[in-house]
Structure 1
Amino acid sequence: MDSQDTYSLVQKSYEQIANNRDAADNQGPSYEESVAMAFGYSVDELRSIPEKANLGLSCGNPLATANLKQGETVIDLGSGGGLDVLLAAEKVGAEGKAIGVDMTKKMLDLAHRNIEKAGVKNASFIEASITSIPLPDATADCIISNCVINLVPEAEKHLVFKEMYRLLKPGGRAVFSDILARKELTKEIKENLALYVGCIAGASQVSEYQTYLGDAGFEVLRIQGSMPMEETRTF
């Protein structure tokens, strides 16, 4: 499967997720809320935003360690329904900006509805691949991402980190959660389409991440925390 086929597969899958979430009419605590809370999002945070912004697709909580400050600009790579963009917009305040980037139009449509419902004025979204984002150099103080980079084709994954570095202001920071493999994945796993869109088959190893980051120009690297997949999400 080449890169374009991979992107098409991911878009089709996440269009369906967006459609399903948009059509959902949850009453009380939801699966999506349980997943987010397992990764450190508080009940207060989740109840402060439209319910459909949370798609239950997190594999961590980058905002917990992003240390966002009032007035900063933050970019979320693979922003989905707008969960982290909405929460980031609150943290950076009226003088700051929260920008979401997603390549799936139906996800962006859902996110725009969530932003409108929340009445947030300092958030916006861009339709683009996270390997090539139409924003100027040195736009962001912080870049975040949550369980998205593994979905980028292996041949293009290094471009994500180069794009992060380009978009960050001097001294800026990138904080992201992703699924990493402890060892080389088998050919059977890598070619399993369900496991790919499920964020498993495209997982990089820690050493590969370190190479991507170092080659892009990042100097201070910290990989923090881990949790076996069976303890986080069920597919």
Structure 2
Amino acid sequence: MDSTEQIYAQVREHYSSASRTAAPKYGESVAKSFGYSEDELSNIPEDANLGLSCGNPLAITSLKEGETVIDLGSGAGFDIFLASTKIGSSGRAIGVDINDEMLARAEKIKASRGSSVSNVTFIKGNITSVPLPDVTADLIISNCVINLVPYEEKNLVFKEMYRLLKPGGRVAVSDILAKKPLPDQLRKDVAMYVGCIAGAAEVADYQNWFREAGFKDSVITDTQADLNVYLDTNEDGTKKSGDCCGPVAAVSACDGGDEAKKATPSCSSATTDSSDMGRTDLNEFVGSYKIFAVKD
């Protein structure tokens, strides 16, 4: 892969493009496949769901009224808007994202919802260095974002989670992790990186980073969800028929249906840079994992 600075630039470019596109039925179908209920989706602004999730972090733990939750890599606000419905007016739901266009989309959605989301705040920041005070949060969530951080800096995210949590605070993360060492060809593929595949660490890495940050224990479980849902779902939310996927493509680099694909430069490279990898099942290399830890 390229340098750390280049990786961040490529990720920002991809997600800026994703922020400008939305296929609501596609996003709904993806979200349901990762465990979001009809009731939960009815409480989330439709425009906040870009089909970028790989799990449901809020299903891993419960939120109480008055608690403060921070979403690392909040995007258009999908999970943070849902969290805001669980903590009441006395709670705080804080979304952190580095991408200006995602933040602008989230703020526009927030403005359209009025006082019903007065407990929601969005701030700009890298999740390796969050501009918030120590011991701010009761819960930290993240959904398919930590894998986008360059490997050399991933440990900083875990240190930030420990710093930001109050004693007894929880971490509930959904992320894509590697089931085995990934081939160099895949690791070096830019489209695969922005699509949350090439940058996936292994379970042992996450366990080590939790321990190094100060957490005594962590629970990391493969949900067995089918990651090919990103590739097998049409823009209208229906399942593609036949052998749809062709050469392997990046998981969320090519999400959002046909219009999103046209607007996303990395989607075209996903089928050219990786064309000689054949019709690869994404589930062979990576999985959707639910991750939980508590700060003593």
What range describes the TM-score normalised by the shorter chain of this pair?
A: over 0.9
Say which of 202, 206, 211 aligns to 1:209: 206
Name which one, 1 or 2, has greater alpha-carbon Rg: 2
Q: Are 1:49 and 1:118, in contact at CA under 8 Å, matched by a contact in 2?
A: no
User: What 5-or-longer segments of structure 1 have no aligned partner?
Assistant: none
Partner SS state of residue 198, structure 2: coil
User: Residue 169 of structure 1 aligns to a residue in which SS?
Assistant: strand
The residue identity in structure 2 corresponding to 1:165 is Y
Structure 1 Cα separation of the partners of residues 182 and 46 of structure 2: 35
State which of 27, 33, 37 in structure 1 corresponds to 2:28: 33
Paired position in structure 2 for 1:164: 161
The residue number in structure 2 matching 1:4 is 5
Alignment-derived partner of residue 50 in structure 2: 55
Relative contact order: is structure 1 or structure 2 higher (C-alpha 8 Å, sep ≥ 6)?
2
Q: Distance in 2 between matches of 1:66 and 1:55?
A: 23
| Equivalenced residues, count | 229
Deviation at 1:232, TM superposition (A): 3.8
Separation in 2 of the partners of 1:46 and 1:222? 26
- Aligned alpha-carbon RMSD (Å): 1.3
* Contact in 2 for aligned 1:50/1:117 (Cα 8 Å): no
Matches within 5 A, 1:170-189: 170-189=167-186
Counterpart CA distance in 2 for 1:226 and 1:36 is 14
Moved more, 220-229 or 54-63: 220-229
Unmatched 5+ stretches in structure 2: 232-253, 255-296
**Alpha-carbon distance in structure 1 between the residues aligned to 2:100 and 2:124:** 7
Structure 2 Cα separation of the partners of residues 230 and 176 of structure 1 = 17
Deviation at 1:229, TM superposition (A): 5.0
Aligned residues: percent identity? 54
Distance 1:10 1:229 in 2: 23
Q: In the alignment, which of 105, 108, 114 is matched to residue 110 of structure 1?
A: 105
Amino acid at match of 2:3: D
Q: 2:141 pairs with 139, 144, 148, which one?
A: 144
Q: CA deviation at 1:140?
A: 0.2
For each residue in 1:2-47, what CA deviation from the matched residue of structure 2 results, as whole angstroms up to 9, or x when unmatched?
11100000000000000113xx6x5xxx010000111111122212
- SS at structure 2 position matched to 1:143: strand
Q: Distance in 2 between matches of 1:42 and 1:167?
A: 29
Q: Which contiguous aligned blocks of 4+ residues in structure 1 show a shift greater than 6 angstroms?
A: none
